[in-house]
């Protein structure tokens, strides 16, 4: 089987650079290099001393050491630096899955989490989260977690904080996962892109190490507004990471030494920037939650995300997500992703990483859309 078009990325490519208010991105609005240097107290003249030779295939050692500190009982030899989490996931799926296997994951999901397994001839076991999202309950829930492990899938994918719903693993979820993983003979992949922006004071919980056959992916790009650095990582057992490194040699081989250098400096000095981003992010989320409660045109309901950058808002009955997203862009200059790009209907995905001013102005334009404009969508 071949890979289909990447629905989300196709729409992002079309609108993200021109949108007056970009709520379609799943990351923080990108920083300029001089802004990043100011936040990190970094002298950019240091870049002039940087060798432009290939980095080590696994990633430079001091960067792997810094990444390993983000986890419990992880050594640098268990870290593979990759070109974003996309490469990390691509490698993991090709090493762990083959035709005829089954993988389970929460639904709806980011396309890269299921499209690559499908292209390998793998069956998907989808666990629907939408009823949980619309309830007053927090977390993934015991029933949904048990469904993930039903039928002994070859790979369980646990994406948290979850994209697109913003659900995080609550304490009861962690206990249930611990119990379920104890008797599970296969692999669990923890896709943890938003650990830096969870409700916890510093880092969100990581499931890596919950069982022997666990792996994890992570990145700084979306959480810190540095998507152009394209740095991610893969965490796993030492011997398995060696196999992953060998496969990476057929893909990007190494990552940019400039990106590695800036990522190292960011991780070493992340807390001030992290705190500032969290404050702005939470402000945007509160602003939208308040607007949605006041009957924002087109929105039926919205449950504020507990972690990460994105949330899933339910549309008023009868509205088609793609038509609504197109109208919102055309009439208000607000770019969102329709849930049709997540192969479901009746929702839009919102990213809250926009600057506070652009977010506020976009919301003001959105709020002025009359019911007559919305009614046009139903004709």
Give a yes or no: residue 317 inside a domain: yes
Look at residue 375 and tell me if it is in a domain: no
Question: pTM of the prediction?
Answer: 0.94
Same domain, 287 and 194: no
Q: Could you tell me if residue 322 is inside a domain?
A: yes
Q: Residue 102 belongs to a domain with what CATH number? A: 3.40.640.10
pLDDT at 1 over 70: no
Q: How far apart are CA 35 and CA 42, in angstroms?
A: 10
Q: Tell me what pLDDT residue 9 has.
A: 74
| Cis before 194 (ω within 30) | no
Residue 1 lies in a domain: no
Domain count, the chain: 2
- Residue 17, pLDDT above cutoff 90: no
Domain termination site, one of 229, 251, 269 = 269
Residue 372 pLDDT more than 70?
A: no
Domain assignment of residue 377, yes or no: no
pLDDT of residue 351: 96
Picking from 269, 303, 318, the residue at the C-terminal end of a domain is: 269
Kindly state whether residues 275 and 264 are assigned to the same domain.
Answer: no
373 pLDDT more than 70: no
Do residue 62 and residue 180 come from a single domain? yes
**Residues of the domain holding 335:** 7-33+270-370
| Statement to judge: residues 229 and 163 lie in one domain | yes
Q: Are residues 245 and 292 in the same domain?
A: no
Per the model's pLDDT, the better-predicted residue between 177 and 375 turns out to be 177
Q: Are residues 149 and 298 in the same domain?
A: no
Most confident of 4-13, 51-60, 94-103, 325-334: 94-103
DSSP 31: P
pLDDT digits (tens, 9 = 90+) for 274-324: 999 999 999 999 999 999 988 899 999 999 999 999 999 999 998 999 999
- Tell me, what's the pLDDT at 310? 97
Residue indicated by tokens 């089954």: 102
Do residues 215 and 131 share a domain?
yes
Answer whether residue 378 is part of any domain. Answer: no
* Mean pLDDT for all residues in the chain: 93
- With a cut of 80, say whether residue 200 has pLDDT above it: no
Same domain, 313 and 208: no
Q: Which tokens in the block code for residue 104?
A: 């389970």
* d(C-alpha 133, C-alpha 128), whole Å: 10
280 and 263 housed in the same domain: no
> End of a domain among 269, 303, 327?
269
Residues 235 and 318 in one domain: no
Query: Three-state secondary structure along 110-159?
Result: CCHHHHHHHHCCCEEEEEECHHHHHCCCCCCCHHHHHHHHCCCCCEEEEE
Q: Which residue has the higher pLDDT, 53 or 234?
A: 234
């Amino acid at each position: 089987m071949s890979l289909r078009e990447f629905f989300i990325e196709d729409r992002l490519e079309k609108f993200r650079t021109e949108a007056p208010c970009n709520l379609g991105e799943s990351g923080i609005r990108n920083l300029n290099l001089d802004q990043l240097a100011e936040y990190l107290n970094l002298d950019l003249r240091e870049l002039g001393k940087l060798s432009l030779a290939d980095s080590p295939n696994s990633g430079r050692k001091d960067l792997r050491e810094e990444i390993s500190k983000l986890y419990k009982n992880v050594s640098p030899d268990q870290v593979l630096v990759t070109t974003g989490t996309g490469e990390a996931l691509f490698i993991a799926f090709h090493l762990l899955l083959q035709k005829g296997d089954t993988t389970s994951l929460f639904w709806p999901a980011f396309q890269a989490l299921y499209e690559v397994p499908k292209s390998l001839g793998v069956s998907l076991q989808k666990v629907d989260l939408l009823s949980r999202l619309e309830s007053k309950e927090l977390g993934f829930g015991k029933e949904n977690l048990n469904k993930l492990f039903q039928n002994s899938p070859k790979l369980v994918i646990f994406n948290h904080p979850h994209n697109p719903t913003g659900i995080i693993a609550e304490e009861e979820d962690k206990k249930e996962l611990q119990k379920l993983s104890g008797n599970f003979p296969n692999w669990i992949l923890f896709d943890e892109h938003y650990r830096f922006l969870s409700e916890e004071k510093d880092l969100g919980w990581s499931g890596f190490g919950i069982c022997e056959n666990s792996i994890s992916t992570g990145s700084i790009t979306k959480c810190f507004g540095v998507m152009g650095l394209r740095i991610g990582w893969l965490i796993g057992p030492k011997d398995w990471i060696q196999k992953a490194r060998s496969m990476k040699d057929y893909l990007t081989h190494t990552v940019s030494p400039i990106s590695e250098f800036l990522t190292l400096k960011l991780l070493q000095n992340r807390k001030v920037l992290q705190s500032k981003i969290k404050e702005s992010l939470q402000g945007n989320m509160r602003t939208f939650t308040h607007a949605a409660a006041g009957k924002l045109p087109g929105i039926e309901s919205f449950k504020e995300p507990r972690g990460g950058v994105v949330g899933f808002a339910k549309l008023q009955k009868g509205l088609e997500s793609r038509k609504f997203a197109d109208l919102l862009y055309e009439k208000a200059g607000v770019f969102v992703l329709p849930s049709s790009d997540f192969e479901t209907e009746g929702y839009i995905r919102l990213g809250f990483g926009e600057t506070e001013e652009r977010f506020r102005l976009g919301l003001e334009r959105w709020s002025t859309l009359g019911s007559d404009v919305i009614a046009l969508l139903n004709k």
